[in-house]
Amino acid sequence: MSVTRLQSHLQRYGVYGSVRLLVQWLMTRLCFYPARLIRFPIYIRGRSAIKWGQGFTTGVGVRLDALGTANNQIVFGDRVQLNDYVHIGAIEKILIGDDVLIASRVFISDHNHGCYSGDAEHSSPEQLPDKRVLVARPVTIGHRVWIGENASILPGVTIGDGAIIGAGSVVTANVNANTIVVGNPARVIKVFDPLQQCWL
């Protein structure tokens, strides 16, 4: 590391923060290759079913649960960044593309306790929630997606490339590429016009 870069780290993080960052960087290299930086603590279940790409980065308190039986239940593309306390849970498949930025306290899940729609037998409210059948539908998040703080991405959702999910949004339906959605349930507020090079 160059002297200039070391001075920059000391200025930005202080001595204690810089030492802690160095330890986390070394642990990442030893335990999480090819990730860029894993900030601890991190909580992982089903690690063998999780695949991360080059440059994968996390904040603190990230929770990744791959609870099914298949391989590659959670797949991260290259240069994905998860900020603090992101929770991703999969029993079937969650695919996250390249260059995705996910803010803090985001929840992404491909499954639900019980069936409440569709043709399958519906779950009874008399049954204990944790005893209800787990119902899964894959989640796909495209490239260059930005997901704001406290958003939730629910089962069966596909988010197109370049989309933006506003803070606090609950995404229950597919989101087209180059679209901004906000709210609960999330709705479209803007779409990028490539001819005018602006959001309309």
Q: What is the DSSP string of 146-194?
A: EE-TT-EE-TT-EE-TT-EE-TT-EE-S-B-TTEEEETTTTEEEEEEET
Residues constituting the chain = 200
pLDDT at 165: 98
Q: Copy the structure tokens of residue 163.
A: 């989309």
- 113 is an active site residue: yes
Supply the pTM of this predicted model: 0.92
Summarize the confidence of residues 114-119 as an average pLDDT. Answer: 87
Amino acid at 83: N
Please choose, from the candidates 131, 179, 181, the residue with its C-alpha nearest in 3D space to the C-alpha of residue 154: 181
Give the number of other CB atoms < 10 A from CB of residue 105.
18
pLDDT of residue 144 exceeding 60, the answer is yes
- CA-nearest of 118, 115, 116, 109 to 91 is 109
**pLDDT confidence band for 3 (50 / 70 / 90):** low
Mean confidence (pLDDT) of the chain: 93
More confident residue, 162 or 29: 162
Cis peptide before 138 (omega within 30 of 0): no
Q: What is the pLDDT of residue 69?
A: 81
Map out the domains of the chain with their CATH numbers.
1-31 (no CATH), 34-199 (2.160.10.10)
- Answer whether 25's CB lies under 8 Å from 46's CB: no
* Statement: residue 17 has pLDDT above 90: no
Residues contacting residue 3 through CB under 8 Å, at least 6 positions apart? none
* In the predicted structure, residue 68 carries a pLDDT above the cut 60: yes
- Please report how many Cα atoms fall inside a 13 Å half-sphere around the Cα of residue 52, on the Cβ side: 23
Residue by residue, DSSP assigns the chain as: --HHHHHHHHHHHHHHHHHHHHHHHHHHHHHSTT-SB-PSPEEEESGGGEE--TT-EE-TTEEEEE-SSSS-SEEE-TT-EE-TT-EEEESS-EEE-TT-EE-TT-EEESEEES--SSSSPPPPTTS-GGGSPEEE--EEE-TT-EE-TT-EE-TT-EE-TT-EE-TT-EE-S-B-TTEEEETTTTEEEEEEETTTTEE-
Of the candidates 9, 113, 122, 143, the residue annotated as catalytic is 113
Region 99-109: what's the mean pLDDT? 98
